[in-house]
């Protein structure tokens, strides 16, 4: 088969190795097996074993999806967080759409604070369950978007966590603060209602939902929300696959694009950037038995962090001040200078 990209066997071998190790971590999470002894030897990688970022293949098991998995699956949530939401009953499809969008708009609970005890311990305030006011609304038996927005009206403190990326920027005339809050209260419901009505008419790919949302935002004078809308559409593809195609084409984020261009450089100039990126995602999807949107995150975004030995200050604190490094096969294949050069390329 002719690809639009070049395959470097050393880099592909390193990616295959990373995939194998992280899927072992995912398996132990799903099966609730202990993280000790034999697993540590099998992983043979201190960064993957000790830093709970590199522990999954399926997007739904990523920390930034812990809340959506918990509220959707309740007692069947494999991470155990759902037991806190067993009495939360969201009955209206539109409310689900609004919940997913607002969660992504407000940073997906991202703060990189790992749980201090075992994997299935208390969740509030940890990575994936960071500052997001609707969590408190749900725990107070408020299951409709009108109630969530009413709660927001009465909040006069920060209500988001968004480590690692910038929230969409809003600017309203004659207003010096609370621009995001104003957008949520005055625009978000009619925005998502419009998307919901459009999506119900015809099944879309993930990127088409992103385009649909951005068109409305631009027409209203707002900036695009590629990252937020893609994450929102990915949630819909997971929980409402009858509306959004789980295996459809996607827009890749900044980190994913960096990884793809470094590991699978484009060689066919006739192919558009969008098609090239999705060619790589489909290649990875077939190779690793994951969906393209899974690969965008776990086989590209996370891979950049892995090769750069990323861990937050909170991970380091949890690990008693110890900083870990990866044990990628590339460090055996390449000399130190070659590996450093590769790291620099990933940061461009």
Taking residue 94's Cβ as centre, other Cβ atoms within 10 Å add up to 17
φ/ψ bin of 334: left (φ > 0), alpha (ψ from -120 to 50), beta (otherwise): beta
Name the β-bridge partners of 83. Answer: none
Q: How confident is the model at residue 120 (pLDDT cuts 50, 70, 90)?
A: very low
CA distance 298 to 314: 21
Compute φ and ψ for 162, nearest 5 degrees.
Answer: -150, 55
Q: How confident is the model at residue 32 (pLDDT cuts 50, 70, 90)?
A: confident
Higher per-residue pLDDT: 157 or 102: 102
The answer, yes or no, to whether residue 273 has pLDDT greater than 90, is: yes
pLDDT in tens, 195-227: 999 999 999 999 999 999 999 999 999 999 999
Strand, helix or coil at 21?
A: helix
CA-based radius of gyration for the chain: 20
Q: How far is CA 246 from the centre of its chain?
A: 15
Terminal-residue alpha carbon distance, the chain: 30
């Amino acid at each position: 088969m002719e690809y639009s990209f070049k395959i470097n066997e050393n880099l592909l071998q390193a990616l295959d190795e990373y995939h194998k190790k992280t899927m072992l971590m995912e398996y132990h999470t799903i099966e609730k097996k202990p993280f000790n002894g034999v697993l540590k030897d099998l992983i043979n990688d201190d960064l993957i074993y000790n830093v709970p970022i590199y522990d999954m293949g399926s997007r739904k098991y990523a920390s930034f999806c812990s809340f959506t998995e918990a509220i959707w699956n309740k007692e069947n949530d494999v991470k155990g967080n759902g037991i806190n939401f067993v009495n939360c009953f969201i009955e209206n499809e539109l409310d689900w759409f609004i919940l997913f969008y607002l969660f992504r708009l407000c940073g997906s609970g991202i703060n990189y604070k790992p749980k201090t005890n075992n994997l299935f311990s208390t969740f509030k305030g940890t990575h994936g369950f960071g500052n997001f006011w609707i969590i408190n609304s749900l725990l107070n038996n408020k299951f409709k978007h009108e109630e969530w927005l009413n709660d927001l009206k009465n909040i006069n403190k920060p209500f988001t966590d968004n480590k690692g990326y910038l929230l969409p920027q809003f600017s309203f005339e004659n207003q010096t603060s609370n621009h995001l809050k104003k957008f949520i209260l005055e625009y978000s419901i009619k925005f998502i209602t419009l998307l919901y009505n459009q999506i119900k008419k015809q099944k879309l790919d993930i990127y088409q939902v992103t385009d649909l949302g951005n068109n409305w935002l631009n027409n209203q004078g707002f900036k695009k929300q590629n990252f937020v809308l893609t994450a929102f559409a990915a949630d819909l593809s997971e929980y409402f696959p009858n509306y959004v195609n789980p295996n459809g084409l996607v827009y890749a984020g900044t980190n994913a694009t960096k990884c793809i261009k470094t590991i699978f450089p484009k060689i066919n100039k006739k192919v558009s950037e969008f098609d090239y990126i999705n060619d790589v995602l489909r290649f990875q999807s077939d190779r690793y038995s994951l969906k393209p949107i899974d690969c965008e995150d776990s086989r590209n975004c996370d891979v950049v962090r892995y090769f750069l030995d990323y861990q937050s200050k909170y991970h380091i604190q949890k690990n008693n001040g110890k900083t870990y490094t990866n044990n990628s096969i590339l460090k055996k294949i390449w000399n130190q200078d070659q590996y450093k050069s590769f790291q620099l390329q990933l940061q461009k």
